[in-house]
């Protein structure tokens, strides 16, 4: 079994009250685990079982729907957990703050556009902040697609993403996706996002 569920970089109750403990336990321990398990099944005894998750996701559209959906699910959730932290939120600093202002006008304008990408994604998917051609852009993807996939409409290097599947928020926020997104900003680990920005720009 080449892929395993990564441990969260904090405890399941660490993101309270914004993301509740039960949602985190099920989201990480059941949903993410299922993507890992189904990805392992999809690559078993194929030439893809020795590839890294990055290699698989880059060509996901040409392998199989199972690898696209479950490989995307594994990549996206691993990225998402690392994007969050307890006692986080606030605003970015330094060159990332400057780049956000340059691309979107202000931090508040950026947040509004990012929230809108999440709110208007019909059904299940993700909203992203990514580096494309040296500039910051916002996009959204359906299902478990992401900007590093060959099938993405907007391709680039993501530095922040948010899961807008109902399983990410339904227990606490029911149908109120906008409230979940408001809570999300209290958890964004801007130190990690800035590291990704430095690495990708």
Instruction: Return residues touching Mn ion (CB under 5 A).
Output: 163, 165, 168
Phi-psi group of 175: left, alpha or beta (phi > 0 → left; psi -120 to 50 → alpha; rest → beta): alpha
Taking the C-alpha atoms of 201, 137, 16 and 23 in order, what is their torsion angle to the nearest 10 degrees?
-110
| Burial grade of 83 (CB within 10 A; 0-12, 13-18, 19 or more) | buried
* Nearest residue (beta carbon) to Mn ion: 163
Shortest distance (Å) from residue 104 CB to Mn ion: 26
Shortest distance (Å) from residue 135 CB to Mn ion: 28
Q: Do the beta carbons of residue 94 and residue 80 sit within 8 Å?
A: no
Q: Rounded to whole angstroms, how far apart are CA atoms 31 and 91?
A: 30
Shortest distance (Å) from residue 12 CB to Mn ion: 14
Q: Rounded to whole angstroms, how far apart are CA atoms 189 and 196?
A: 11
Cβ proximity to Mn ion: between 42 and 168 the closer is 168
Cβ proximity to Mn ion: between 26 and 103 the closer is 26
Cβ proximity to Mn ion: between 81 and 114 the closer is 81
Cβ proximity to Mn ion: between 145 and 163 the closer is 163
Shortest distance (Å) from residue 32 CB to Mn ion: 7
């Amino acid at each position: 079994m080449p892929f395993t569920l990564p441990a969260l970089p904090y405890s399941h109750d660490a993101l309270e009250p914004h993301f509740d403990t039960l949602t985190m336990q099920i989201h990480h321990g059941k949903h993410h685990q299922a993507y890992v398990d189904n990805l392992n099944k999809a690559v078993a005894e194929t030439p893809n079982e020795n590839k890294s998750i990055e290699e698989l996701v880059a060509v996901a559209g040409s392998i199989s729907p199972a690898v696209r959906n479950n490989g995307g699910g594994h990549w996206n959730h691993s990225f998402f957990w690392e994007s969050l932290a307890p006692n986080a939120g606030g605003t970015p600093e330094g060159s990332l703050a400057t780049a956000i202002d340059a691309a979107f006008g202000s931090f508040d304008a950026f947040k509004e556009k990012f929230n809108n990408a999440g709110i208007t994604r019909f059904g299940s998917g993700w909203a992203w902040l990514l580096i494309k051609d040296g500039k910051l852009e916002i996009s959204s993807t359906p299902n478990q697609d992401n900007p590093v996939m060959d099938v993405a409409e907007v391709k680039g290097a993501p530095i922040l993403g948010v899961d807008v599947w109902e399983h990410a928020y339904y227990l606490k926020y029911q149908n109120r996706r906008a409230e979940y997104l408001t809570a999300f900003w209290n958890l964004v680990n801007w130190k990690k996002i800035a590291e990704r920005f430095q690495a990708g720009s």
